[in-house]
Structure 1
Amino acid sequence: MAPIASDLPAEQREQLCGLLGNVDLTLLYKASVHGYEASAFHQRCDNQGATLLVAYNNSGDIFGGYTSVDYTQSGKEIADKEAFLFSFRSGNLLCIKVKSGYNARCDDAGMPNFGQQLYFCYNNQPVVIYQHKDCYRQFIFNPDTLYGNNNQLTECEVYQIKQTLQVSFKEKPWRNILWTAERREELMGFFRSHKPLLSSVNRVRILMLGPVGAGKSSFFNSINSIFMGYVTSKAMSGSAKSSVTTQFRMYPVKDGHERKPLPFVLCDTMGLEEQSGAGLDIKDISSILQGHIPDRYRFNPVTPFQPDEQKSSRPASLLEKIHCVVYVIDATKISLMSEKLEEKLTSVRCLINSLAIPQMVVMTKVDEACPHVQKDLQNVYASSYTKMKVQEVSSRLGVPVSCVLPVKNYSQEIELDLNCDVLLLSALHQMLRLADDYLDDVDSF
C-alpha cells in the first residue's frame, strides 16, 4: 500500500521542524483518508508520544497545535508546558505558547482540543471551533490572527514527532560564540577599560526603545546584575498592558562593590504603543535623541516635552545626546506586531536615520520563543527558528541581520547564569562598537 501523501508544504515543514529542534515528522492521521470521527483519530494517534496537529482551511490558512504528552483518552486535564499553537501568517510562523501554570488540553475521547478553547474536527465535522470563556484562557490568541476566522477545514493531519541525533543540531551554528567563563571575563574587561573615542564624551549614551513589555527595563537590570555579581532589580519592570516605565531614566552602571562607573549609560523610556495619544510620543523621542530631556522627566502621552526657551535656544553638547539606539523586541510577539505599531517604528527609524545615529535590535525572550533554546540557551545560534525570527525582525525594522542580537534577560532567576551573561554582554559589546563608530564619524567633520 502506497504511503499517504502529506499536505504540509516543504517550507512550512522546515520551519516547524526548526521550531521543534532536530525532528522528523511522520504522518499518523489524515482526516480525509481515515475519517473525521474521534475514534479514527484515537486509533491512530493514541500513545504515540509528542504530536503535531496541522489543519488547513478553505482560505488557505495553515495552523494547528503541538503537544509533548500522549493522547490516552484518560479524561484528565493535561499539564504540558511545551504545548503551543501555531499559524503561518504572511509567510511567517506565529507561535503561541501555553500560559505558565495552566493546563494545555483535556485528554478526553473526542477530537483534539487545546486549552478547551480550540477544538479540531468538532462533532466529527471538518470544522474548527473556538470557545471564548474567561475560565479557559490557556492560550492568548485572536481567531482572526490564527486562522482568518474561517472555521471550515479542508484537511486535518496529525504527525508524530521523532527526535533525531542532538549532535547534528549543534554542528553548524549560524553564528559563532564562546560559551566560557573566560569569554565572559574578557567582555567584562573590555567594558572596564573602554574609553569613548572623544575625550569630551566620558560615557556613551544608549537609548532603549520598544513596545510595552518587551523588556527594556529588564535588560538594564540584567546588565547591572552581571557587574554587581548578583541579580538586581533597580529599574521597575514587569508585565502590564500599559508601560511600567513612565519616566525618562538614565541608568549608569557601576562595577561591583567598588562602584566604579563604567563608560556607558542605558537610557530607559516609556514603551511604544500603537494607539495615538498612548505610549511614548515620537516628538519626545526627538527631544531625547538631541539631549533636551532631563533624567527622571515624567512622560505625558498627550503633551510632548516642551523645553524652556533658554535651553532650547542652544544645542545640547555631544555628551548629552544619544550615541546609539537599541530597539528591544520580544521574540514571542514579532509575528503579532500590528501594522500601526510597525508604522510607528518605521517613523522612529526614519527620525533616527536623519540624525545618523546607529541602530540595532536586542531580541528578548528567545528561550520562550523556541523550545529547543529553552532547554539549552547555547542552542540559540544553532536554532533555525531563532535565525528565522532574527531575519523577520531585520525585515520589519529595516535593521541589518548582523545588528539583531538575541538575549535572555534575568526575570525569574535568583542567581547569575554564564550563558545569559555571555549573550547579554555580547549585545552590549556591539552597542559600544556602534557608539564608537558614531563618535568617530562626528569627529571627522
Structure 2
Amino acid sequence: MAPHTSNSTDDETDSSLQTSSVHGYNASAFHQRCNRQGPTLQLTDDSLLNPFIFTSSGSPHFQGKIPVCFKVNSGYNARIDDTGVPNFGQQLYFCYNNQPVVYNSGSNAVSLNTATMYGNDTQLSECEVYKVNAIHKQWRNVLWTANRRDELMEMIRNHKPLVTSVSRVRILMIGPVGAGKSSFFNSINSIFMSRITSKAMSGSAGTSLTTQFRTYPVKDGREGKPLPFVLCDTMGLEEQSGAGLDIEDISSILQGHVPDRYKFNPMAPFQPDEQKASRPASLQEKIHCVVYVIDSTRISLMSDKLQEKLASIRRKVNSLGIAQIVLMTKVDEACPLVEKDLQSLYVSSYIKSKVQEVSSRLGVPVSCVLPVKNYSQELELELNCDVLLLTALQQMLNFADDYLDDVCSMEDNVF
C-alpha cells in the first residue's frame, strides 16, 4: 500500500479511482483517472502478495507483523507529478513501461532492499488507486444542532444592555451595494418570525436599493415583544465620489443625529436642524456596534477607492471607540464545498483564506470576521443558516456590551 498524493480539492469522497487489471497498466489511464483527486492510496501486490506502504517520511513495509521503514533520503521527493507512471522518489516505479511490473531505478532516493520488500519478484498481480477521504479539523467550533439554535435564540431574547438607559442595542450595517445588508435583517427577522420574510428591500441591482436610513426593530414572533436590538440599514457604499453613502452621513448616524427614514442625498450630507445640533444625542440614540457587510465572492475584486472609503470609515468609528465586526456574506457562492453542505464552512481552506484576506484588507482581527449565509432564494428556514446568523448576531450584542462597558468606565472616571 502506498499513499500517492496529487492536487487536492475541498470536495472529497471515498472511491476506487483506478484498477490496473480493469483500466490498463499504461500511464495515461493512471493520470486520466487519478490526477486532481486529492490524497490517494495506492495498493500494489506482487506475485508473492507482499503489501508495502510509502509515506512522505518513509516507507514502512509489513512483512508478517514486523514493520520495516524505508526512509526517503534528503534532497529527493517521495513523489513527483509528471506524465510518467506512478513512482516514489523517482526510484520505485509501478506499471513500468505500460506493463504489470515494478521497476527499481537503483538511484539513491530511497534506501531499500528489494529482496526484503518484494522478494525481487517484479511482476504485479494488481495495482489499485483509491481516493482518501481526508479528515479535516474545524478551524472554528460550531454546534450545528437545533438545541444550539434554540439556545442562541433564548440568549438573544434575554439580552439586557449593560447600561440601563439603553433599552435596545443599535447595530449599524455598512457595506458596498449588493453585499447583503438588507438581506441580513430579513434573515434575522425570518428566524424570529419562523418563516421567510422580506420586510427590507433587497436584491442584486447595480445601485443601492436602500435610499433611506432605516432602523429595523425585530419582534419575537408576530405578536411578540420587540427584541433588545435594532438593525440600522444604510445606503450602499460606492467607490466613486457623489454616489452611494457619504462618509459625513455615517458620522452623523454614529453620533445619533440621523432620524429614521431620512432620505440620503449623495450630493449633500445630512445637516441636523439647529435645535438638535445644539445638544448631544443620548447614548440610546447612538450606534453601539458597526458591522461591515462584505460579499465573500468579491473580496479580491475590491477596488482601491472602495478600500480607502472603508478605511476612512473605520478611522472615524475607531475615534468614537465603537465596536466593529465584519460580516462575510454569500459563503455558499464563494465555495462549492460550502454550497453543497453549509456545515463544511469551517473546514473549508478557501473560506479560511477569504476570512484572512478581508481581515488584512480592512484591518480587523480575524476573530472579528464572521462568515454567514443570508436567506435569499429559500422558501423555508434551514437549521445551518439559522445557527450561523444567530451566532453572528449574538457576537454583535457581545461587542456592543463591550462598547457600553467602556463608555460607563469613562463616565465613572470623569465623575
Q: TM-score, normalised by structure 1?
A: 0.65
Query: Aligned-pair RMSD on alpha carbons?
Result: 2.4
Alpha carbons of 1:411 and 1:344: their partners in 2 closer, same or farther (altered >3 Å)? same
Matches of residues 281-430 of structure 1 in structure 2 within 5 Å? 281-430=246-395
| Counterparts of 2:131 and 2:340, CA distance in 1 | 16
1:187 aligned to 152, 156, 162, which one? 152
Who is 2:222 aligned against?
Answer: 257
Q: Deviation at 1:433?
A: 0.2
Q: Deviation at 1:44?
A: 6.6
Alpha carbons of 1:443 and 1:50: their partners in 2 closer, same or farther (altered >3 Å)? farther
| Counterparts of 2:208 and 2:187, CA distance in 1 | 19
1:212, 1:271 within 8 Å by CA — same for their partners in 2?
yes
Matches of residues 66-145 of structure 1 in structure 2 within 5 Å? none
Who is 2:175 aligned against?
Answer: 210
Who is 1:63 aligned against?
Answer: none
| Counterparts of 2:343 and 2:245, CA distance in 1 | 35
Q: Deviation at 1:229?
A: 0.2
Larger Rg, first or second structure (1 or 2): 2
How many equivalent residue pairs? Answer: 302
Who is 1:172 aligned against?
Answer: 137
SS at match of 1:380: helix
Q: Deviation at 1:438?
A: 0.4
Q: TM-score, normalised by structure 2?
A: 0.69
Alpha carbons of 1:185 and 1:347: their partners in 2 closer, same or farther (altered >3 Å)? same
Who is 2:17 aligned against?
Answer: none
Q: Deviation at 1:21?
A: 3.5
Alpha carbons of 1:260 and 1:309: their partners in 2 closer, same or farther (altered >3 Å)? same
Who is 1:271 aligned against?
Answer: 236
Structure 1 alignment gaps of length 5 or more: 1-9, 25-42, 53-161
| Counterparts of 1:173 and 1:347, CA distance in 2 | 34
Who is 2:52 aligned against?
Answer: none
Q: Deviation at 1:50?
A: 10
Alpha carbons of 1:164 and 1:384: their partners in 2 closer, same or farther (altered >3 Å)? farther
Alpha carbons of 1:21 and 1:288: their partners in 2 closer, same or farther (altered >3 Å)? same
Deviations 1:70-128 (A, max 9, x none): xxxxxxxxxxxxxxxxxxxxxxxxxxxxxxxxxxxxxxxxxxxxxxxxxxxxxxxxxxx
Alpha carbons of 1:338 and 1:287: their partners in 2 closer, same or farther (altered >3 Å)? same
1:272, 1:280 within 8 Å by CA — same for their partners in 2?
yes
SS at match of 2:213: strand
Alpha carbons of 1:243 and 1:51: their partners in 2 closer, same or farther (altered >3 Å)? farther
Deviations 1:340-392 (A, max 9, x none): 10011001100100000010101000011001011100000000110000000
1:323, 1:438 within 8 Å by CA — same for their partners in 2?
yes
Instruction: Verify: 1:21 aligned to 2:11, yes or no.
Output: yes
Alpha carbons of 1:372 and 1:311: their partners in 2 closer, same or farther (altered >3 Å)? same
Q: Deviation at 1:259?
A: 2.4
Who is 2:188 aligned against?
Answer: 223
1:21, 1:383 within 8 Å by CA — same for their partners in 2?
no
Alpha carbons of 1:185 and 1:165: their partners in 2 closer, same or farther (altered >3 Å)? farther
Q: Deviation at 1:212?
A: 0.4
Q: Deviation at 1:49?
A: 7.5
1:23, 1:163 within 8 Å by CA — same for their partners in 2?
no
